[in-house]
Copies of this chain bind each other. A is one copy, B any other.
Amino acid sequence: MSSNSIGKIFTFSTWGESHGKAIGCIVDGVPSNIKLNESDIQPFLDKRKPGQSKYTTQRKEEDKVEILSGVFEGLTTGHPISLIIYNNDQRSKDYSEIKDKFRPGHADYTYWEKYKIRDYRGGGRSSARETAMRVAAGAVARKVINKKIDNQVKITGALIQIGNSKINYNNWDESIISQNDFFCPDEKIISKWKDLINNARKDGSSLGAIIELRASGIPPGLGEPIYDKLDSDIAKALMTINAVKGVEIGNGFGSVNEDGKSNVDEMIIKDGKPFFLSNNNGGILGGISSGQEIICRFVVKPTSSITSERKTIDSNFKETTISTKGRHDPCVGIRAVPVGEAMLASTIADHCLRFF
């Protein structure tokens, strides 16, 4: 079987294959009387859209979203919102080379073992194309959050590391994140990243990346211990993104090096309200939001589709080799930024509706 829904109250369910007729999703649990139309969603899809710079895939997909239900006269009705994106280009491209081969590092072999059938056209259901619908659902999630929480929630993602090249946090400038091809907050590192990507491409290889997500304006109280903690739901949501191999909250893996005395985030009263002197815990304590900024990170492994030849097997369990032709992202982590934002937004929207 497969599992295609996420969330308990705010939920979305995606469907569609990379090269099928269309991809789509049902966004459910949206309260009624929220203003919503396609223009609330499209900008987020445009951020993720391929073919926007020479550092991502050169494929062209228009990714034009259409609302099919759940909105009446510009307002949500409280009923399921069906979103669809038709696949422009479902031409019967020549997939003969990879039809029977399992691309190493991909889901080809495991899908075959599980389902005994494989839609080989571009990865079918396992394609990152599915994440377009997450981005669409995430845009709706943002509307829900803003309806529930007045105090201006802001959810932003940024690329903080490509390969072994990490940003300098002192240079963090949020305003430039949307102004460069990498969602990078550190202007000084961008030229280096360009070189890294170009070199990886020339080398027939690819690069990993780390994305940091921040959500500010979240009130205390979101998250349901013991088993739907806010951080465990975030971890799950981010780990479902293609090629993600790790998730951390606040200091994350770095907290192993912390001293217990400094790591505890002392509290005082400031302006009559509880105030934390640090945010080592990334805005989540005991699985519940603390009112601080929520900070989390996830790592995306180097793209598995590379032009260098690699050993693999085919569906007859014969040895062969493969090298990926075509226009693949040399660093899928870049386009994972808006996807990560969307998964965080939808997790927060779900817990907003569970709490308020």
Q: Could you say which of B164, B252, B256 contacts A257, with CB atoms under 8 Å apart? A: B164
Q: Report if A21-B68 is in contact (Cβ < 8 Å); known contacts: A113-B221, A263-B301.
A: yes
A233 within 8 A of B: yes
Q: A3-B224, A235-B235, A261-B308 are in contact. List 16 more A-B contacts (CB 8 A).
A: A1-B31, A2-B28, A4-B80, A15-B69, A15-B80, A77-B118, A77-B119, A113-B291, A207-B260, A208-B256, A231-B239, A246-B252, A247-B248, A253-B299, A269-B317, A273-B317
Give residues of chain A (8-24) contacting chain B, Cβ–Cβ below 8 Å: 9, 13-17, 20-24
Contact assessment for A104 and B264 in the assembled complex, using a CB-CB cutoff below 8 Å: yes
Inter-chain CA distance A147–B319, complex, in Å, is 33
Q: Could you say which of B302, B319, B353 contacts A255, with CB atoms under 8 Å apart? A: B302
A56 within 8 A of B: no
Contact assessment for B4 and A28 in the assembled complex, using a CB-CB cutoff below 8 Å: yes
Of A44-52, A122-130, A171-179, A180-188, the stretch lying at the interface with chain B is A122-130
**A-B CB contact pairs (8 Å), 29 listed:** A1-B353, A2-B28, A3-B225, A4-B79, A4-B227, A13-B26, A13-B80, A72-B117, A78-B115, A104-B266, A105-B264, A106-B286, A108-B286, A109-B267, A110-B223, A125-B225, A126-B225, A126-B286, A204-B261, A205-B261, A206-B261, A227-B240, A245-B249, A245-B282, A246-B246, A260-B303, A260-B304, A263-B304, A264-B310
Contact assessment for A229 and B225 in the assembled complex, using a CB-CB cutoff below 8 Å: no
A29 within 8 A of B: yes
Contact assessment for A274 and B109 in the assembled complex, using a CB-CB cutoff below 8 Å: yes
Residues on B with C-beta less than 8 A from A2 are 28, 78-80, 224-226
Residues on B with C-beta less than 8 A from A217 are none
Residues on B with C-beta less than 8 A from A111 are 225, 286, 288
A82 within 8 A of B: yes
Chain A interface residue number, banded: 35 or more
A220 within 8 A of B: yes
A209 within 8 A of B: yes
Q: Could you say which of B3, B23, B209 contacts A228, with CB atoms under 8 Å apart? A: B3
Contact assessment for A26 and B15 in the assembled complex, using a CB-CB cutoff below 8 Å: yes
A146 to chain B, nearest CB (A): 18
Q: Report if A124-B72 is in contact (Cβ < 8 Å); known contacts: A107-B288, A245-B248, A253-B299.
A: yes
Contact assessment for B240 and A78 in the assembled complex, using a CB-CB cutoff below 8 Å: no
A168 within 8 A of B: no
Chain B, Cβ-Cβ closest to A208: B256
Copies of this chain present in the complex amount to: 4
Give residues of chain A (238-283) contacting chain B, Cβ–Cβ below 8 Å: 238-240, 242, 245-253, 255-261, 263-269, 272-274, 277, 280-282
Contact assessment for A20 and B69 in the assembled complex, using a CB-CB cutoff below 8 Å: yes
Inter-chain CA distance A235–B67, complex, in Å, is 33
Residues on B with C-beta less than 8 A from A203 are 261
Inter-chain CA distance A272–B313, complex, in Å, is 11
A318 within 8 A of B: yes
A5 within 8 A of B: yes
Chain B, Cβ-Cβ closest to A130: B226
Residues on B with C-beta less than 8 A from A336 are none
A116 to chain B, nearest CB (A): 6
Contact assessment for B256 and A250 in the assembled complex, using a CB-CB cutoff below 8 Å: no
Residues on B with C-beta less than 8 A from A353 are 1
